[in-house]
Amino acid sequence: MSMSKRTQSLGGKLGVTRRDDPHGDHSTLEAELATSKIEDRVREIVASAPPLSAEQRDRISALLVGGRDA
């Protein structure tokens, strides 16, 4: 899996922040990094997938909007 420049940057920033403030609240940066990793993976999947039908796009969209149980 390739990492975007944004993911790399956030990972570096989180590492530095953890080093400089090991007991601080890093949850915002951790969430941003997790989101960026998900975006990277979704981009890879979309790029490698065949064209989707409207129904397939709707099902995937429901997962993204509603979470795991959609």
What SS3 string covers the chain?
Answer: CCCCHHHHHHHHHHHHHHHHCCCCCCHHHHHHHHHHHHHHHHHHHHHHCCCCCHHHHHHHHHHHHHCCCC
pLDDT of residue 8: 98
Q: Residue 64 has what pLDDT?
A: 86
| 68: nearest Cα among 47, 46, 39, 60 | 60
**Domain count across the chain:** 1
Q: Which domain holds residue 53?
A: 5-66
Residue 2 pLDDT? 85
What is the pLDDT, as a whole number, of residue 68?
60
| pLDDT (0 to 100) of residue 62 | 92
Overall pTM surpassing 0.85 (yes/no): no
pLDDT along the chain (70 residues), means of 10: 93 98 98 97 94 93 77
